[in-house]
Amino acid sequence: MGRLSGKVAIITGGASGIGRGTVELFVKEGASVVAADLQDDKGSRLVEDLGGEVSYVRTDVSNEDDVKAMIAHTVNKFGRLDCLFNNAGIPGLGGPIANIPTEEFDMVIAVLLRGVFLGIKHAAPIMCQQRSGSIISTASIAGIRTGFGSHVYSAAKAAVIQLTKSTARELGESNVRVNCICPGGIATPIHGISLGLATQVADQTIEPMKMVLETVQPIPRAGVPADIAQAALWLASDESSFVTGHELVVDGGITLGRKWSEGRAMRQNVMATLGISDNK
């Protein structure tokens, strides 16, 4: 038996990147999964690859009617809802605050925050009636530290963390858990998309991004979708049944600060400049 045997999950943004990796792992662990996305071609391939325990539904997570239809589709097809993973996301426009168009702000907030709100809002009644369920959202280390994302992206992810904690207090009384994951540098197409590349071209940036990301945190490799999928698996499973209102940081240690070796090298440079011997 798998760790999710008999459970039913929805994963938004499920056709690629972290979402696809999580769909694959959840199915392997025995879950029936609805993958929600706007990438119909990738969604169709996902169903072809994984078979009957996966259903794809086209969903704009910022549209309330779409979210309601996604959840209704899941319950009608599989009979219940045990896990919702609010994972769909976009990178958002970077640059100085004065240069960010208001419509860009609205779009990023609509997907990253409104989408999470709508997911929780419409999953909660079903899970509360069942008196069981796990709601997981993808936040980011950009929501807990500055310098890891654009202004609007960072603000939206910080709001996701606080919404997680707030709703966990309410829904916990019905035995429904609400948690979020804060990924660090994960090699997915979103980095290429943030640079303005088309989706197909962005897919080709994954391997080069691994080489970049493996240098920036204490653990000397890039994060990959499987790292976040494993975290989501734990939060979706009964193994985490006493965990709620938590932001789980999965970042290879990047939020710990400057790498130890870099800090030591800086100390040695300072000591040399001052003409002081450093034997430590």
Q: Which stretch of DSSP H or E encloses residue 75?
A: helix 64-78
Give the domain CATH number at 246. 3.40.50.720
pTM of structure: 0.89
In a domain, 144, yes or no: yes
Catalytic residue (choose from 117, 143, 153, 191): 153
- Beta partners for residue 179, in sequence order: 136
In a domain, 262, yes or no: no
Which two structure tokens, joined as six digits, stand for 20? 């696809």
- How is the chain split among helix, strand and coil, in percent rounded to 5? 55, 15, 35
Among 49, 5, 53, which residue's Cα sits nearest to residue 33? 53
In a domain, 271, yes or no: no
Residue 163 belongs to what domain range?
Answer: 8-254
Is 56 one of the annotated active-site residues of the chain?
A: no
- pLDDT by residue for the chain (280 residues), tens only, comes to 899 999 999 999 999 999 999 999 999 999 999 999 999 999 999 999 998 899 999 999 999 999 999 999 999 999 999 999 999 999 888 899 999 999 999 999 999 999 999 999 999 999 999 999 999 999 999 999 999 999 999 999 999 999 999 999 999 999 999 999 999 988 875 554 554 544 554 566 667 777 777 788 888 888 899 999 999 999 999 999 999 999 999 999 999 987 777 766 666 666 666 677 666 5
User: C-alpha angle 154/189/231, rounded to 5°?
Assistant: 65
In a domain, 263, yes or no: no
Per-residue confidence (pLDDT) for residue 86, from 0 to 100: 98
In a domain, 76, yes or no: yes
Per-residue confidence (pLDDT) for residue 197, from 0 to 100: 45
Which two structure tokens, joined as six digits, stand for 132? 């069981």
Distance CA 124, CA 145 (A): 29
Amino acid at the residue 109: I
Q: Which stretch of DSSP H or E encloses residue 31?
A: none
Q: Which stretch of DSSP H or E encloses residue 86?
A: strand 83-86
In a domain, 71, yes or no: yes
Contacts of 23 (CB under 8 A, 6+ apart): 11, 14, 33, 35, 46, 50, 54
Residue with tokens 């965990």: 243
C-alpha pair distances (Å), 266 with each of 115, 261, 273: 43, 9, 11
In a domain, 91, yes or no: yes
Among 245, 109, 231, which residue's Cα sits nearest to residue 164? 245
Per-residue confidence (pLDDT) for residue 207, from 0 to 100: 74
In the chain, the number of structural domains is: 1
In a domain, 274, yes or no: no
